Amino acid sequence: MARLCYGDFYVYKLPRLPGCGYSYCPVPPHGFRSSGQNETSITLLWNPVNSSVSFVLQFNGTESNISAPAGSEPATYTISSLTPATKYTFTLFSVFENVTSSGISIDAVTAPQNVDIFRVVKKTDRSVTLQWSKVNFASYVLQYNQGWKNISTSDGDGPITYTVSSLSANTEYTFTLFSVFENARSGGVQLQALTDQPYVPCGQTFCPPGQDCVIINGTAQCGEACQHYNELNDNWLSEYNIYGNSYCSGSYYSTEGWYRMFVGQTSAQIPETCVQDSRCSSYNRYQMTQPHPTQYNQTVTRSLCYSYGSYCCFYTSSYSIKVKLCYGDFYVYKLQRLPGCNTAFCAGNILLLNSSSSLLRLLF
């Protein structure tokens, strides 16, 4: 009598055998497979036959006796001290009262070693070129920011160079490189790389990374925005003038460019939180939806939203601005021309300086 149990194994009610020359013959174990590996070991897994059946595992001319597992859980066995990136053949036999099954064989591989050297050798605003040392018998998988690439082994013993393109400018990427041998991966090595800032159009030329397009003596030139900026220092636009739309002067329009904000002698900044209703002398008050940069000479692009009346961040604008943190703990902003009356940039106290709260409005 036989019964199939949960856990995919059988139990048998066996009668007494009639005498010598008779035996019950066990069948090979079900589900014999590799369940994992690293560089120097392979773990095998199989379903038990029953609690009376033990096992013999053979590979590379060696033989290991394995006791019957307790309970109905799959049996596991780990073979250690193996060679990386190597294929092994394992044969598993069931044993019942010294009678051995015909056995079942599988092939399994160890993982290859990680690369010894993994580095960035070149960057642009749209690409990162990586280089790593070659691992024998391995191909590679490169993962980065939710993407991945399969990279075949190149000829020769020299380092492998690979360029990841179509990236975003001024963006940090995390690259993880795995060596692969017959679908077995190494543990992986990792590095971070920040793409360059894009070349900025400026008049008839382009400014390289690290330089800004500024106005010097009325001409667009490549230079340093922290040194060449317009000052916005109109105290009549402070937070104390709370009357909405009090000022809508056609003469108070400015062109696109780099600006540093002041209230009196104190630097100011565009707020990252909502401004109260009717402050900055305007009904529509712009604010940044993301934080200011935190590294000196770092330039970031930030989106904007504006509050209308008492509605905070009522609408996300199609406008964006550039912000740069300068030595001396102040910001400069590359601001676009705003659509007209009732629309304003507000600026609050600059957090780096911990100055007293001040707001001003910039009408374009």
pLDDT-wise least confident of 6-10, 130-134, 207-211: 6-10
Residue in 146, 264, 123 with CA at minimum distance from that of residue 195? 123
Residue in 124, 122, 125, 188 with CA at minimum distance from that of residue 161? 122
What's the CA gap between 128 and 117, in Å, rounded?
Answer: 16
pLDDT-wise least confident of 25-29, 123-127, 143-147: 25-29
**Choice between 175 and 238, residue whose per-residue pLDDT is larger:** 175
Q: Which CATH architecture has domain 2-109?
A: Sandwich (2.60)
Average pLDDT over residues 328-349: 79
**CATH 2.60.40.10 residue ranges in the chain?**
2-109, 118-194
For the record, the structure tokens of 307 come out as 């509050």
Contact 170, 196 (CB under 8 A): yes
pLDDT at 155 over 60: yes
Average pLDDT over residues 187-206: 87
What's the CA gap between 32 and 306, in Å, rounded?
Answer: 63
Question: Is 75 exposed, middle or buried, given 0-12, 13-18 or 19+ CB atoms closer than 10 A?
Answer: buried
231-236, Cβ contacts within 8 angstroms, sequence gap of 24 or more = 231/259, 231/260, 231/262, 232/259, 232/260, 232/261, 232/262, 232/360, 232/362, 233/261, 233/262, 233/263, 233/264, 234/360, 235/263, 235/264, 235/360
Rg (CA), the chain: 35
Task: Decide the pairing of beta strands 9-12 and 2-5.
Answer: antiparallel
Average pLDDT over the chain, rounded to whole? Answer: 81
Q: What region does 132 belong to: left with phi over 0, alpha with psi -120 to 50, or beta?
A: beta
What's the CA gap between 137 and 135, in Å, rounded?
Answer: 6
**Choice between 22 and 157, residue whose per-residue pLDDT is larger:** 157
**pLDDT single digits (tens) 258-279:** 999 887 778 888 888 887 777 7
Which pLDDT value is given to residue 243? 53
For the record, the structure tokens of 40 come out as 């120097």
Contact 113, 185 (CB under 8 A): no
pLDDT at 22 over 90: no
Q: What percentage of the chain has pLDDT greater than the value 70? A: 79
What's the CA gap between 56 and 99, in Å, rounded?
Answer: 11
Average pLDDT over residues 278-292: 79
Q: Which fold has domain 118-194?
A: Immunoglobulin-like (2.60.40)
Which pLDDT value is given to residue 1? 59
DSSP character at residue 203: T
Quick count: other Cβ atoms within 10 Å of Cβ 131?
Answer: 17
Q: Find where tokens 């629309």 sit.
A: 343
